[in-house]
Structure 1
Amino acid sequence: MAPRSHIAIYKALYKSFGGFAADVVAAIDQAAQDGVDIISLSVTPNRRPPGIATFFNPIDMALLSAVKAGIFVVQAAGNTGPSPKSIFSFSPWIYTVGAATHDRAYSNCIVLGNNITISGVGLAPGTNKDTMYTLVAAVHALNNGTSDANDMYISECQDSSNFDQNIVKGNLLICSYSVRFVLGLSTIKQALETAKNLSAAGVVFYMDPFVIGFQLNPVPMRMPGIIIPSPDDSKLFLQYYNSSLERDEQTKKIVNFGAVASILGGIKANYGNSAPKVMYYSARGPDPEDSFLDDANILKPNLVAPGNFIWAAWSSGGMDSIEFQGENFAMMSGTSMAAPHVAGLAALIKQKYPNFSSSAIGSALSTTASLYDKNGGPIMAQRAYTNPDSNQSPATPFDMGSGFVNATAALDPGLIFDCSYDDYFSFLCGINGSSAVVFNYTGQSCAPSSSDRVDLNLPSITIAKLNGSRTVQRSVTNVAGNETYRVGWSSPYGVSLMVTPTHLSISSGETQVLTVVINATMNNTAASYGRIGLFGSNGHVVSIPLSVILKISNDISTSIGTGSH
């Protein structure tokens, strides 16, 4: 994202035992002492801290100190989606990034002899396109020394000594992909080694029906191969194979393997996918209710970025993924892949606007985010682990924050919403009973007048319990040339909206205040969404998502029912 950036790396977690919050805090503090401009943190707390408000977990407070030092902090949202309220960190000084797809895909297919084509995964070469190869299941190619043909582990093709090379040679070897592969007890790499030792033409992995909801990354294969990730497709494949076997009527032994197939291969990318869409595993908002704080009214995630099937440099000695051992590049998925995209773009913004605060960088990214996929339709969000593309609906701000990151627009935002460390400090002081905790972390005492929380100047508006009417103010600062803006909006369902002024002329460097009056017009306990847009005469578009959950008193709902509104 930022090719000329300098990268400092701090190791705080280990594959063997994980790590502790204290290790991550030490790494954050060291980075701040070293003078970094941006922290990319693919780590989130694994639970809410007991006995204190969400914001006071040690990692978030260490990151607040980093923000005080002028550092922009990017954090992965976590892979605990798609359930609502599945994000663990809601601090407004942290920029939280969810994962979305891009339109690059590696599609592998196997064509069966009955003219059925089944899609699968695998960064593998194809077989000779003009040739159909005989399919042989591992359990039907055992040598005389292999005693138990029903041993489920044999079907995983992990040991070539179990099989008869004369049966497998020149054919496609069929292996099962069980939960042992997910756990790392069996590997694709070892199965490929088995196929190579047996002189197979390629390998076909079918999915064990017990492996549900597991997303396969495109695994590199140095010989023709494919993994069929769908249990239903795997069942279809096995039905064809078993129905094509010819057996001796008396001995029931196989006398002919009748099933044939060819593998098309999956090395070349295609770009036909509808994208972006929010991945099912990407953690979602809104902020869970906190007994220490009525409602934080903070939108999370802040936005989404490419996080699925991401190519990146990889150490050939890296042990984190068995399938990518010895490789120089790897393809991974998760919000941990999305966060570095945004960190790199933040570096480019910092380069262009060296005086931008952390919140100004976040504002530039948020207000310019895209709301539409590449076909002009709404960005969709997957809502289930199984068959995610069949269980999706338009993404809400609690799925995607402000939208999908727009790298070009973020470098020319027009207007920004700015927040200072003092604003965040006042926010924390406004939490009932927080004074001692705030002092413990910051060394600063809360002022007596800070008992009411400030309305943070965020590039979004989130009201979790709207009871009647609420007035919200936001300050915008012009970081471009003199410009005139027209203000428009769409109201959430059950809510009336008024924004003033409706037009503003704002000089370069000038700050002006927007006043937003939000009124409940009907009883609706489900979240509803709207948007405020500022449209500049020089082409700048500033977009502000609005999320409202109503909590209407009996008096108001009665008056609504009698038609007095």
Structure 2
Amino acid sequence: AAEDGVDIISLSITPNRRPPGIATFFNPIDMALLSAVKAGIFVVQAAGNTGPSPKSICSFSPWIFTVGAASHDRIYSNSIVLGNNITIHGVGLAPGTQNDAMYTLVSAAHAVNDTMTSENIYASDCQDSSAFKRDVVRGNILICSYSIRFVLGLATIRQALGTAKDLDAAGVVFYMDPFLLGFQLNPIPMRIPGIVIPSPDDSKVSFLALYIEYFEQSLDFDKFLQIFLEYYNSSLVWDETTRKVVSFGGAACISGGIRANFSHSAPKIMFYSARGPDPEDASFVNADILKPNIVAPGNFIWAAWSSGGSDSVEFQGESFAMMSGTSMAAPHIAGLAALIKQKFPNISPAAIGSALSTTASLYDRNGGPIQAQRTYANPDMGLSTATPFDMGSGFVNATAALDPGLIFDTSYDEYMSFLCGINGSSPVVQNYTGEVCGSSPTLNSIDLNLPSITISKMNSSLVIRRTVINIGSNETYRVSWSEPNGTSIKLAPNQFFIPRGGKQVLSVFFQTTLDSNVASFGRISLVGSLGHSVSIPVSVLVKIYNTTG
């Protein structure tokens, strides 16, 4: 990449486990990326989808810009309206039935050929059109089961849609097997009217909860499937002798899920997005480095897709797919980094990261603090305010990042001084970089000129210095701060003038006010007279209050 003159690398791979050895930073991926930074390349890496547990982050080093995943305000929702005027929400990037007309509901189990035997227990998966009576299904909505076979790849929605089309069905309703507990269902493209109704215990159809939240309804989607099946079964007329259905009384229309709805609840940190604090080594000792660095849209993102790809049967033949994960968030940052590099051609990789970090937003579109999902099951039920270990500096603000005012810069040599300062690291550094640590002064991680301050353990007091560079116009800045619980802060200077291209050293004086092993958070803000605003997250984990002396 360096030889090709690349400016930005977006990486969606991380170490598959916490690297052993003297420090997590010494792994082949991170050290190769350090070489890229040496060549002036800005490196973006997905945080990993191992959240929401603390220290689940899989991207460790200060020279890597680590991106977590957040939701955005575009939501695709689908629904089906029953003949009794009850609306049930579900999944499916599908068109609706024509003109909102009602169509008769017919279960696949009640449309099988008379020649079918009871041994074919999976007929309801709708995988073979020859198994059904065409005259029963034609012009009606076919009901199919979404069983464990779909999860295992033994059945597909694509094949079921083909069955419905062969039988001239007006649409398809899939109902999820109640035994598919905790299965995450992504929006699925459908060429004909269709919808998937979640099972009572399907807790991962999170965009449904968002949809409900948007309309401020109090619907209980745990009962969606039960309501649907009770309505259908109550509408059937049976032959008492043959015990076969002779009349289908249930009807419905599918609204369709192609048009997007927009919610003001975004962004929120997704449950799967990996979390800090950054582990310094395999023994879970914390590093004085903030991870992740930032969050960006990563949930239900339209992504380019190879129509010949075989990774997902449901997306075969499609040119785009709706995907989720930190690998969807990282390219947003890479693209914005390219714009920053275009505007400031001589800017360093660290300075690009600074521009992104110090301008990030802390608030959702309602004006409240960004929330974080903290549980794998029912993720929207246990939201709480996101911390820097959930979202880094915050949610990316593209407009502000292109005009940051001040930046923090860190050079390759400073990263090397940091690595050489790790006890016993000299042979490892030489092995990876070919450079000898020598007798040059070393740096602690806390003294790297990062756009954040993370203190893993503070004993009584500490002084940390940061240097800012003005890449904007001449400006006067006022300094303010909020203190982490158990810590007092003072800054000098609390106001300064800085010309374009000028530098200013900020001294931050910390003092513990109580003993605590609970992480607490604050923030330093630099507000300029021309409207620039620079935000620096402060995280303090262990605080030791010494009353002696």
Q: After TM superposition, is the score higher than 0.5?
A: yes
Instruction: Judge conservation of contact 1:293–1:431 (CA < 8 Å) in 2.
Output: no
Report which stretch shifted further, 311-320 or 132-141. Answer: 311-320
Instruction: Judge conservation of contact 2:66–2:292 (CA < 8 Å) in 1.
Output: yes
Aligned counterpart in structure 1 of residue 322 of structure 2, from 318, 331, 337: 331
Query: Is it true that 1:513 corresponds to 2:508 in the alignment?
Result: no
Distance 1:227 1:350, change over 3 A: same
Distance 1:230 1:129, change over 3 A: farther
Q: Please list, as runs of the form range in 1=range in 2, the aligned pairs for 1:15-164 lying within 5 A after superposition.
A: 31-148=1-118, 151=121, 153-164=122-133
Q: Deviations over 1:71-116 (max 9, x none)?
A: 0000111111111111122100000111111111111111122322
Report which stretch shifted further, 361-370 or 310-319. Answer: 310-319
Cα drift, residue 309 of structure 1: 1.4
Report which stretch shifted further, 116-125 or 347-356. Answer: 116-125
Aligned counterpart in structure 1 of residue 265 of structure 2, from 269, 274, 297: 274
The one-letter amino acid of 1:490's match is S
The one-letter amino acid of 1:113's match is G
Aligned counterpart in structure 2 of residue 368 of structure 1, from 331, 355, 359: 359
Q: Deviations over 1:308-351 (max 9, x none)?
A: 11113322222222212111222211111111111010000001
Query: Is it true that 1:258 corresponds to 2:249 in the alignment?
Result: yes
The one-letter amino acid of 2:496's match is L
Cα drift, residue 467 of structure 1: 2.3
The one-letter amino acid of 2:491's match is V
RMSD over aligned Cα, in angstroms?
Answer: 1.9
Q: Matches of 2:102 and 2:520 in 1, distance apart?
A: 55
Cα drift, residue 244 of structure 1: 2.7
The one-letter amino acid of 2:484's match is P
Partner of 1:504 in structure 2? 496
Instruction: Judge conservation of contact 2:486–2:543 (CA < 8 Å) in 1.
Output: no
Cα drift, residue 442 of structure 1: 0.7
Cα drift, residue 530 of structure 1: 0.8
Q: Matches of 2:393 and 2:198 in 1, distance apart?
A: 33
Cα drift, residue 289 of structure 1: 5.2
Report which stretch shifted further, 411-420 or 314-323. Answer: 314-323
Partner of 1:205 in structure 2? 174
Distance 1:354 1:281, change over 3 A: same
Instruction: Judge conservation of contact 1:98–1:305 (CA < 8 Å) in 2.
Output: yes
Partner of 2:337 in structure 1? 346
Cα drift, residue 293 of structure 1: 9.1
Q: Deviations over 1:115-150 (max 9, x none)?
A: 221111211111134422222221222112221267
Q: Matches of 1:323 and 1:487 in 2, distance apart?
A: 53
Partner of 1:487 in structure 2? 479
Percentage of matched positions with identical amino acids = 71
Instruction: Judge conservation of contact 1:53–1:292 (CA < 8 Å) in 2.
Output: no
Distance 1:344 1:76, change over 3 A: same
Q: Matches of 2:378 and 2:82 in 1, distance apart?
A: 23
Distance 1:229 1:32, change over 3 A: farther
Partner of 2:217 in structure 1? none
Partner of 2:306 in structure 1? 315
Cα drift, residue 250 of structure 1: 4.0
Instruction: Judge conservation of contact 2:483–2:489 (CA < 8 Å) in 1.
Output: yes
Structure 1: which 5+ residue stretches go unaligned? 1-30
Q: Please list, as runs of the form range in 1=range in 2, the aligned pairs for 1:396-407 lying within 5 A after superposition.
A: 396-407=387-398
Q: Matches of 1:241 and 1:330 in 2, distance apart?
A: 32
Q: Please list, as runs of the form range in 1=range in 2, the aligned pairs for 1:146-185 lying within 5 A after superposition.
A: 146-148=116-118, 151=121, 153-185=122-154
Q: Matches of 1:139 and 1:463 in 2, distance apart?
A: 62
Q: Matches of 1:326 and 1:243 in 2, distance apart?
A: 39
The one-letter amino acid of 1:512's match is Q
Cα drift, residue 498 of structure 1: 1.1
Partner of 2:162 in structure 1? 193
Distance 1:452 1:477, change over 3 A: closer
Cα drift, residue 268 of structure 1: 1.1
Instruction: Judge conservation of contact 1:99–1:308 (CA < 8 Å) in 2.
Output: yes
Cα drift, residue 179 of structure 1: 3.4
Q: TM-score, normalised by structure 1?
A: 0.89
Q: Matches of 1:402 and 1:552 in 2, distance apart?
A: 25
Q: Matches of 1:462 and 1:185 in 2, distance apart?
A: 49
Q: Matches of 2:264 and 2:182 in 1, distance apart?
A: 21
Q: Matches of 1:534 and 1:43 in 2, distance apart?
A: 35
